[in-house]
Amino acid sequence: MVIDHAAVYTRRLEALREFYETYFGAQAGALYHNPKTGFSSYFLSFDGGSRLEIMARPGTSLRPQAEFLCGYVHLAFNLGSRVAVGELTNRLAADGYRIKSGPRVTGDGYYESCIFDPDGNEIELVG
């Protein structure tokens, strides 16, 4: 059994699509839009077969901001090397994205950096 995809709601569908295409090489499928409900989504495909569905619909509310919330916490992208983690972290910082931590070796032995996408969703860059 494999996980088919993860999904996230956004209020800025096109901005999130562009972010994942620009920095993570995502390939967006066709825009789906349901005119009755106002729901729209893209499936973003990444190397290796993983997919992320980004979705928008009227009335979507923001999550409360707290450091530790129950539920899904982050996406992790394996960039293949420590050098790649550093390079992408520096590129994102230079482009104005918020960096949470790293690059660093974690207590459990991962080499990672944690950043936030345009909606504030946490992403781990590992290498």
CA atoms within 13 A on the CB side of 17: 18
Give the pLDDT score at 91.
98
The topology (CATH level 3) of 74-126 is: 2,3-Dihydroxybiphenyl 1,2-Dioxygenase; domain 1 (3.10.180)
The pTM (predicted TM-score) of the whole model is 0.90
Phi and psi at residue 93, to the nearest 5°: -60, -45
User: What does DSSP say about strands 40-45 and 27-28: parallel, antiparallel, or unpaired?
Assistant: antiparallel
Q: How do residues 65-92 score in pLDDT, each as one tens digit?
A: 666 666 677 899 999 999 999 999 999 9
Q: What is the CATH number of domain 6-56?
A: 3.10.180.10
- Fold match between 6-56 and 74-126? yes
Domain coordinates of the chain in residue numbers?
A: 6-56, 74-126
